[in-house]
Structures are given as C-alpha cells and as structure tokens.
Chains A and B, each alone.
Chain A
Amino acid sequence: DAKTTQPTSMDCAEGRAANLPCNHSTISGNEYVYWYRQIHSQGPQYIIHGLKNNETNEMASLIITEDRKSSTLILPHATLRDTAVYYCIVMTTDSWGKLQFGAGTQVVVTP
C-alpha cells in the first residue's frame, strides 16, 4: 500500500478554515484517499474519501491534485469539537476496509 506523509501537528483558530495537507506520492491507480479523525478516547470517525475528483460532504471537502500525489482536507469552519488527530489513508480496492494508519496530524482548534 502507498504510504502517506502528514504534518505532525497544526493549530487552527475557531471559525476559520482548517487545511490539512497529505502527501501520497506513491499512490497507484486503484487506491482511494480516505480521511478519518479520532477524537480523544473515541473510535476513529470517517470523514470523507475520493479517488481523483474533489469531494464535498457535510463535514469537509477533499481536494486531490491532478497527479493524485497529494490531497488537502478542508474543514470550512473549524470548531473546538474538531480538535482531534486526523488520519490520511490510502486504501486499495484489493483490500477494502483494511486501513493502514500512519501517525496522523494532531489538530488543535483554539478560541
């Protein structure tokens, strides 16, 4: 599976957009980009996923570069409850559901 690289931590002001980058330079054609987050002491929560097109749902937007080597998760209006560890994961169609978690990005939203 392709590996991902994320910044260790990020701070974000409440009410502002949070842009979380992820590099996945070795991603292959059948691998999707998934984003999860884990709020302290809880199970990981699905946020969004995509293959090559940009995606948007009620939680966030996912922007994938044209070469698919990197992506950005956008939380449009960060709240204090968005403080969590965010994981960018690539998942191949050959191994649906098997998530290889990296270290993730610790996002702290401050008032």
Chain B
Amino acid sequence: SAVISQKPSRDICQRGTSLTIQCQVDSQVTMMFWYRQQPGQSLTLIATANQGSEATYESGFVIDKFPISRPNLTFSTLTVSNMSPEDSSIYLCSVYRTVNTEAFFGQGTRLTVV
C-alpha cells in the first residue's frame, strides 16, 4: 500500500480567502488525483494532477478556482481559491499504483468556510 499524508487535516477559513492543501506520498507514483466530498455526499473527482504539466480538470471544475501543482512524483497541492461556504467539504488526495492496480486515499482535509 501507499502512505499518503495530507495537510492540514482540517481548517476553518474566512470566505474570500484561499487554502492550499498538501499531499505527500511515501514513494513515487505516476498518477495523483484530487477529490471533493461535500457534506452527506459521495466523492467527486476534481482533477488529475500531472507531473510536469497542467492538471486535467473534470467537468464543472476550473483551474482558476482549484489550481493544482505537481512538482514531482511524490507531492501535489490543491488550492481552493476565493472560498465561499459552498466550498465546505472534505478534499481528498488519491494515488494510483499500476503495479497492483489499486488506488489509495489520504485521510482528507476537512474544510469549513465561514
């Protein structure tokens, strides 16, 4: 399995501000993903974090709102920009290992926007 560390684990932020979430993996992985889980809902894929190139966003998510960096094969960040209360969610990082065809998740960042 892969060990995934997300920081912060939770935060309370003021509307209009931005928060950057970090995802650190204990080994190199090709594929990293970011998901959002709104209160009482299932997970929704935000984007694929590509190393060395711009992230690939799913329908309904845009780079200006959720900029993503992937400077190397073990690290990625997701920024939630210009936050509103509707952004209150759990944000999760996921990595996929081709060797055993499994995807692993971090424990998530619980964000509350007030």
Contacts and interface: CB of A to CB of B under 8 A. Distances in A.
DSSP majority for the A interface?
A: loop
Contacts of A44: 43, 92, 105
B42 A102 contact: yes
Contacts, number: 48
Interface string A17-48: 00000000000000010100000011111100
Contact residues on B (Cβ < 8 Å of other chain), bracket: 20 to 34
B101 A96 contact: yes
A87 B42 contact: yes
Contacts of A104: 42
A43 B43 CA distance: 10
B101 A43 contact: no
Majority SS of interface residues in chain B?
strand
Interface residues of A, number: 19
Given A42-B107, A43-B106, A98 B101 contact: no
Given A32-B101, A44-B105, A46-B103, A97 B42 contact: no
A98 B94 CA distance: 9
Given A97-B31, A99-B43, A101-B42, A43 B105 contact: yes
A101 B94 CA distance: 13
Contact of B31 (A32, A46, A96): A96
Contact of B92 (A43, A49, A98): A43
Given A96-B31, A97-B31, A98-B48, A46 B102 contact: yes
Nearest to A98: B45
Residue from A43, A101, A103, A104 having most chain B Cβ neighbours under 10 A? A43
A41 B98 CA distance: 27
Given A42-B107, A43-B106, 8 more contacts: A32-B101, A96-B101, A97-B95, A97-B96, A98-B33, A98-B48, A102-B42, A103-B42
Interface of B: 4, 31, 33, 35, 42-45, 48, 92, 94-96, 98, 101-108, 110
